[in-house]
Amino acid sequence: KINLFAIPGNPGMEEIGECLNIGTGPENFKNIVDFVEEREIDFTVVGPEAPLVDGIVDYFEARGHRIFGPDKKASRIEGSKVFTKELCKKYDIPTAESVKFNRSDYESALRYLHSLKENNYPIVIKADGLAAGKGVIIAENRQQAEDAVEDCFIKSIFGNSGDSVIIEEYIKGFEVSILCLCDGKNIVPMVLAQDYKKIFDGDEGKNTGGMGSYCPVPMVSESLYKKIMDEIIYPTYEGFFKEGILYKGILYGGIIISDDQPFLLEYNCRFGDPETQAILPRLLDNFLELLIKCSEGNLSQAKLRWDGSKCVCVVAASKGYPQSSSRGDEIRGLENFKESKDVYIFHAGTKKGDGKVYTNGGRVLNIVSKSKTFKNARKKVYNAVNIINFDGMQYRKDIALRAEEK
């Protein structure tokens, strides 16, 4: 029997394991490792990026414990967009043309924006550090671009994460996500997924952490998939070797395809959310065993097996998201899916109180279904979405519609 523990966990995780109210910041690393030793826990998997960037893997390994995730040095691939851009430049990895400015270069950044012509827009402004998925702004005109730079440098809305910004060209195309298992020597890609960043249907409104996803991605041919691996993923991993980076864990590539040419948008050092929710239900192999093999540097014989289903994930978000989030609204209808074999409910921003479940964050639930066709998977998932409700619930109605139409 496997015993599961989650920090901090949520009501969904409570159903399969024990949840502990310990913080995940660097000041809590000692408490976490003390708990691991006290309960004789064999293996730890890190979910969010912040503890990885803060060096939780280094801390665990120094105390002799097995853990899944990249160390502090390797986690810079997500922790610093400037670092990633420099790596791309050095190893000829296709990505958008860009310029970097530091906080002290504020006036220079404004002069640069003034030098751009109207037809140079839209452009993309990126805060260098972690910003909970909200540090990328697509500016449609100079005013929006100036506002974004001011937000980073003057208003400091991203704190230290906005000490440097990247201003880069906007590449028009469609995005895909690729998650790869890495053991320090070998890299094993998973199937592709596609997520939806914008809050509203038709890719309108503000950027979010992700409002839904689906897997597989029918728009990507075998030859295009090979291009992504040969031109972006493998050269990155070879670059790690040359830079003396031992990368173990998940490497997540956000890729944009423009005229059949892939470009790297970003790397993350952890599982994609909500892509993972649409990918893993299709995996036939023992997931835990794969993660352990990664941490032990033992992936060389791994061949991932997938079922033939189509999987769709729809995110239910709280009122006000992404600018703010309403908390404490009762979530109704969850009991209908307790025994469901067709629909999976993954909790995110939820909490329990007096036997009921309430909203407790921006993205509240992931509602997932799989079937032989995208049409059927979408039908099942949206039937479920219509049964679950809470005040101000937001969700997109067009998740995987483009895949259904292929």
DSSP string, 127-172: ESS--TT--EEEESSHHHHHHHHHHHHTS-TTGGGGSEEEEEEPPP
Is 324 within 8 Å of 381 (Cβ atoms)? no
Sequence letter at residue 316: A
Is 63 within 8 Å of 50 (Cβ atoms)? no
Q: Which of 69, 65, 44, 66 is nearest to 55 (CA)?
A: 69
Is 300 within 8 Å of 265 (Cβ atoms)? no
- d(Cα 253, Cα 179) in Å, to the nearest integer? 6
How many whole angstroms from its chain centre is CA 19? 22
Q: Which of 83, 202, 34 is nearest to 7 (CA)?
A: 34
Q: Which of 325, 363, 13, 361 is nearest to 213 (CA)?
A: 363
pLDDT (0 to 100) of residue 404? 87
Sequence letter at residue 234: Y
Buried b (16+ CB within 10 A) or exposed e, 331-341: beebeebeeee
Domains of the chain, earliest start first: 5-68 (3.40.50.20), 97-169 (3.30.1490.20), 174-404 (3.30.470.20)
Tokens standing for 35? 């708990």
- d(Cα 216, Cα 270) in Å, to the nearest integer? 20
Sequence-separated (6 or more) residues with CB below 8 Å from residue 340: none
- H/E run at residue 51: helix 49-53
Is 404 within 8 Å of 194 (Cβ atoms)? no
What Cα–Cα distance (Å) separates residue 279 from each residue in 68, 306, 363, 374?
Answer: 19, 9, 19, 14
Is 191 within 8 Å of 305 (Cβ atoms)? no
Is there a cis peptide before residue 235, judged by omega within 30 degrees of 0? no
pLDDT (0 to 100) of residue 286? 95
Q: Which of 233, 250, 245, 236 is nearest to 48 (CA)?
A: 250
Helix, strand, coil percentages for the chain (3-state, nearest 5): 35, 30, 35
| E strand residue ranges, 145-294 | 164-169, 174-183, 187-189, 194-195, 198-200, 204-207, 212-215, 248-258, 261-268
**N-term to C-term CA, the chain:** 43
- d(Cα 399, Cα 406) in Å, to the nearest integer? 13
- Please list the rounded mean pLDDT of every run of 10 residues in the chain (406 residues): 94 95 91 96 96 97 97 98 98 98 97 95 97 88 97 96 97 97 96 96 92 98 97 98 97 98 98 97 96 93 92 98 92 94 95 95 97 98 98 98 88
Burial class (CB in 10 A: 0-12, 13-18, 19+), 324: exposed
- d(Cα 136, Cα 267) in Å, to the nearest integer? 13
pLDDT (0 to 100) of residue 166? 98
pLDDT (0 to 100) of residue 302? 81
Sheet holding 343-347, edge to edge: 194-195, 212-215, 310-317, 363-371, 343-347
The pTM is what?
A: 0.94
